[in-house]
Structure 1
Amino acid sequence: MNARAAVAMQVHNTLGEGVTWCDRGQVLYWTDILASALWRYRPHDGALHQWTMPERLASFALCEADGWLLLGLASRLAFFHPSTQAMVPVTDVEADLATRLNDGACDRQGRFVFGTLHEPATGPKQPVGGFYRLNHDLSLERLPLPGVAISNSVAFSPDGNTMYFCDSPSRAIQCCDYGDNVSNIRTFVTLDDSRGEPDGSAVDRDGGLWNAQWGLGRVVRYTAQGQLDHIIDVPTSQPTKPAFGGTDFSTLYITSARIGLDDAALASQPYAGALFFADAGFRGMPEPRFAGPPPHVIAAA
């Protein structure tokens, strides 16, 4: 089954990513990584707001502590309170490597899982980055998963027992058995079209994995068994991440990017970098929130 996405907001993001629906506020958050910007959109009245970050913002998570976000900045994790703009550092990540943070999401236990991306001075990206988990006590652990050049597609099955992830240049989405430990790493699906790479993902309440496919102008749904059964065409070649939102979680929001498109491509793709939406035909779930207790300085704010 095929559907087509429409423009929700024309925001001209260079590298829109990380789209996340906040069910408490009925608002949508996302980042323009290269602009070091956090965006918020309220669909019911079209209100749009933007915050400038101290460095590139790669991914983030909602927090159980009301009003707070956990940020995955380029070099570190930090808590951020949009209303007060308070920023509280948590920890640096891979300080000894030429990497930055990239895709991330909370697991069903309320821990933040994210990966990194290699930024070499010269030459192609290499699989030197990793996947990490920030636990409730704010301890950081590297998960025993393969190294990555460009981490993406971090998502979890509805029961929390399966984790999805990928190294985008490999064109394969992996999965593993997930809990306090990870095991049984295996290939979930492989993209056959060499023009495309898997980017960010979301999971619906039926267990389907929705993946934005960079270069192919589409978001696709795979069943839990890895069968492609639904395609949403996006009117730009570089969709980056989907997220379910709306009052009943039946709207699929999709971020996109303009980076790397030449003048001719931009002329033929006037909505590159926009925020899109589509009727998914499936329903999502509330986004898990980071459940760790904030530092005392946050509690006192």
Structure 2
Amino acid sequence: MSAAVPVTRAALLVDAKCTLGEGATWCSRSGRFYWTDIEGAKLWRYDPRDGRSTFWRMPERLATFALCANPHYLLLGLASHLAFFDLATGETERIVDVEPGLNTRVNDGRCDRQGRFVFGTKDEGSPLRAVGGFYRLNRDLSLERLPLPAPAISNSIAFSPDGATMYYCDSPTREIRACDYGADGSIANDRVFTTLADATGEPDGSTVDRDGGLWNAQWGGARVVRYGADGVETARVTVPTVQPSCVALGGAQLGTLYITSARTDLDAAALAGDSRAGGVFVAVPGQRGLPEAVFQGAPLRCRTQDE
């Protein structure tokens, strides 16, 4: 890290003690922050207006999710399948199974600028093997595999402000990659975007700010790092827990960085010194985000009602 790179320190916001907090998402329409505890099979929501946090129990582990064009629904990336979730009733509508027959589960995901959901999977075996994939759920609810290298742990999925660049990673490689991403869904020019310079940590969840900077939570490194569009570090946030997992820029002016974290794999001695692990942290690093892209597909019940 260059001495000229500005450093901000994050502070605890919600002491949620999630086993595996992930999926940081700010909803500009409701002014609320959503995240998931994957291993706890819970969807969490925080409202900054009253400081209250609530959660819904999920039918299985919830790895990732997306806001929908219909504000009453979320698109869920559950461990084994994708589904719509009705926020009012708690009901789910199954869409499609993901990698049936493989010992993998859904992992990281984000919507592209065209309103399609792009996500990846992770191996659940030991030792980890690069046997997963990257996929796109289209607006018509068809699922396609993307022509990208198979990951062991997919992460860092994000899109440039104009949508023409997709970022992603296979965490154990300690590289974040980029590719050209067409409005028609085409992918080309897959390349290394950046390699982690610090001795510790792996790239985890990412978000992109309005200036095109990529903010990446670095698991095991107690930090979030911002990279310019050229892949060079321009800022970092130190996080007072060792396993930050995902980030989102939110708040009224989209200038608050929300950071999820995890307690998994930390033994009793480690947790004694990292008691806030699994919480949500915030920082104000000086850049502003973009409204989260929403999934443009609709649940069957909504399409049926509109006909």
Q: Same-fold call, TM > 0.5?
A: yes
Task: Please say if residues 93 and 299 of structure 2, whose CA atoms lie closer than 8 Å, have aligned partners that are also in contact.
Answer: no
Task: Please say if residues 39 and 61 of structure 2, whose CA atoms lie closer than 8 Å, have aligned partners that are also in contact.
Answer: yes
CA distance in 2, matches of 1:293, 1:31: 22
Deviation at 1:297, TM superposition (A): 5.5
**1:233 maps to what in 2?**
238
1:148 pairs with 127, 133, 151, which one?
Answer: 151
Secondary structure, counterpart of 1:267 in structure 2: helix
**2:123 maps to what in 1?**
118
- Confirm or deny that 1:42 pairs with 2:56: no
- Confirm or deny that 1:162 pairs with 2:165: yes
**1:27 maps to what in 2?**
32
CA distance in 1, matches of 2:304, 2:159: 29
Task: Please say if residues 154 and 170 of structure 2, whose CA atoms lie closer than 8 Å, have aligned partners that are also in contact.
Answer: yes
Q: Which stretches in structure 1 are left out of the alignment for 5+ residues?
A: none
**2:103 maps to what in 1?**
98
**2:140 maps to what in 1?**
137
- Confirm or deny that 1:85 pairs with 2:90: yes
Q: Which amino acid aligns with 1:136?
A: R
Deviation at 1:300, TM superposition (A): 4.1
Runs of 4+ in 1 over 2 A off after TM superposition: 192-195, 296-301
CA distance in 2, matches of 1:181, 1:67: 30
Task: Please say if residues 175 and 186 of structure 1, whose CA atoms lie closer than 8 Å, have aligned partners that are also in contact.
Answer: yes
Task: Please say if residues 19 and 30 of structure 1, whose CA atoms lie closer than 8 Å, have aligned partners that are also in contact.
Answer: yes
CA distance in 2, matches of 1:135, 1:235: 38
CA distance in 2, matches of 1:194, 1:91: 39
CA distance in 2, matches of 1:150, 1:267: 28
- Confirm or deny that 1:264 pairs with 2:269: yes
CA distance in 1, matches of 2:303, 2:47: 26
Q: Alpha carbon RMSD of aligned pairs, Å?
A: 1.2
- Confirm or deny that 1:172 pairs with 2:171: no
Secondary structure, counterpart of 1:226 in structure 2: coil
Task: Please say if residues 212 and 242 of structure 1, whose CA atoms lie closer than 8 Å, have aligned partners that are also in contact.
Answer: yes
Deviation at 1:48, TM superposition (A): 1.3
Q: Which amino acid aligns with 2:220?
A: G
Task: Please say if residues 217 and 235 of structure 1, whose CA atoms lie closer than 8 Å, have aligned partners that are also in contact.
Answer: yes
Q: Deviations over 1:40-85 (max 9, x none)?
A: 0001111211100000000000000121000000000000012111
Return the TM-score normalized by structure 1: 0.97
Mapping of residues 255-294 of structure 1, within 5 Å: 255-294=260-299
What fraction of aligned residue pairs are identical, expressed as a percent? 59
CA distance in 2, matches of 1:67, 1:282: 30
Report how many residues are paired.
Answer: 299
